[in-house]
Structure 1
Amino acid sequence: MFINGLMLLGIVPGKSAAILNFLVGTMQVVFPTLIILQSNGDPAVIFGAAGLYLFGFTYLYVGILQMTGISGEGLGWFSLFVAVCAVVIGYLQFTLTADPVFGVIWWVWAVLWTLFFLLLGLNKSSLTRMTGWFTVFISHLTGTIPAFLLLLGRYETNNTLAVWVAALAVASLVGAYFLGRKSMRSSAEPGQAASVAPAA
């Protein structure tokens, strides 16, 4: 996620990011399949693993676009489908697994996938840099930090922490919006290109 954010900001070339997208995407398709096959039909285990497919297919799709250079409308509309799924999964985290922090995290991911829908599915290229900054910010808020806490056995979840995560996510979105606008103004100055880098 972090690398793809940097790609949208024009820092990492698309083909360079594609390698990691193929690697991570493959892992997030193979691993949940293995987990589900060994789950003995346990609904909780299946639910916990199934969401990884949404990321896996997204990363693989992004990698293919980066390597082939084809247009991203298909990925954009797929992102809308994934955003809806993420909203549902987030709700189930609150009601089914009593994990409000991951409920909020799934809703933050729903916002990100919605931005990808607007950017790629509806060709709102003015959102490129905003989406890039938001991706960079939440890659740590929703990925790096929770992962380290889980590995250390320090992960906690309650409504208060969920509110903090939500507040940081909103701050990330606002910051990304203003950084994106600033970048757009700079690129539109005389003597500079007015277009933004393509997403894929």
Structure 2
Amino acid sequence: MSSVGLLYVGAVLFLNGLMLIGLVPGKSAAILNFFVGAMQVVFPTIILIQADNDLPTIFGAAGLYLFGFTYLYVGVLQMTGISGEGLGWFSVFVAACAVVIGALQFTLVGDPVFGVIWWTWAVLWLLFFLLLGLGKESLTYVTGWFTIFVAHLTGTIPAFFLLVGRYETNTGLALLVAVVAAASLGAAFFLGRRGIPRGDASSREGVAVSPA
């Protein structure tokens, strides 16, 4: 994933996390979802057209569609009010693909840090499945907080390292990312179970159909 695309993944995940915990209205968040979703569909399409059957290039572009379609789907749901079951079941497909792509980052690409990042995304999209596909509304705040943490851990921070040419990958750094991701999940459950005092019912309208 390009550094620019990764930066905006961080931005839209952060906004959607705020939406899930009731701090941003759904229709307001939908706008950025449309912008980033379109970017994550148009750019990989251009890359694939120019790939000339180069498998590493195709592999690198393929995963972007998983994000792009998710964000476009979120935007449509928030603007129309359609229920989110379809997006939930799409999310379990994304989670499964993220597990495979993460494994390939370890074995084929040789990038253990992004291997852990892809597995972290798999956990996040699994939460979207539980929330939307299976209707586990008790996970709304948990998913929201984890989305906020993951936005920066897997998007914003590595994007800036890539942008300034300081990105490194090795087993030690991968373990560090894994520990922080696990701690973030624990913190999300702690904060999510407590809930937050801000936000009335109207501010949370549509939250149940609003992942990343």
Q: Same fold (TM over 0.5)?
A: yes
- CA–CA distance in 1 between the matches of 2:59 and 2:92? 21
2:121 alignment counterpart: 109
- 2: CA distance between counterparts of 1:88 and 1:139? 21
> How much has 1:199 moved relative to structure 2?
2.5
| 1:39 CA displacement | 1.3
Structure 1: gaps (5+ residues): none
CA–CA separation in structure 2 for the residues paired with 1:199 and 1:34? 33
* 1:40 shift after superposition: 1.5
Quick one: percent identity of the two aligned structures? 73
Q: 1:107-164, CA deviations, whole angstroms, 9 ceiling, x for partnerless residues?
A: 0000000000000000000000000000000100000001000000000000000000
- The equivalent of 2:146 in structure 1 is 134
Q: TM-score, with normalisation over the residues of structure 1?
A: 0.93
Report the TM-score, using the length of structure 2 for normalisation: 0.88
Structure with the greater alpha carbon radius of gyration: 1
User: In structure 2, what is the equivalent of residue 99 of structure 1?
Assistant: 111
CA deviation after TM superposition for structure 1 residue 103, in Å: 0.4
1:180 paired to 2:189: no
1:166 corresponds to which residue?
178
The superposition leaves residues 26-84 of structure 1 with CA deviations (integer Å, 9 ceiling, x where unpaired) of 00000001011111211111111110000000000000000000100000000001100
Which of 51, 54, 59 does residue 63 from structure 2 map onto? 51
Q: RMSD in angstroms over aligned alpha carbons?
A: 1.5
Matched, 1:35 2:69: no
One-letter code of the match for 1:142?
T
The 1-side partners of 2:208 and 2:49 are apart by 35
Deviation of 1:177 after TM superposition, in Å, equals: 0.1
Runs of 4+ in 1 over 6 A off after TM superposition: none
Task: Flag structure 2 segments of 5+ consecutive residues without an equivalent.
Answer: 1-12
- What is the aligned counterpart of 1:199 among 204, 208, 212? 208
Instruction: Provide the C-alpha distance between the structure 2 equivalents of 1:19 and 1:149, rounded to a whole number of angstroms.
Output: 27
Mapped to 2, the partners of 1:56 and 1:149 lie a distance apart of: 23
* Larger relative contact order (Cα-Cα within 8 Å, sequence gap ≥ 6): 2
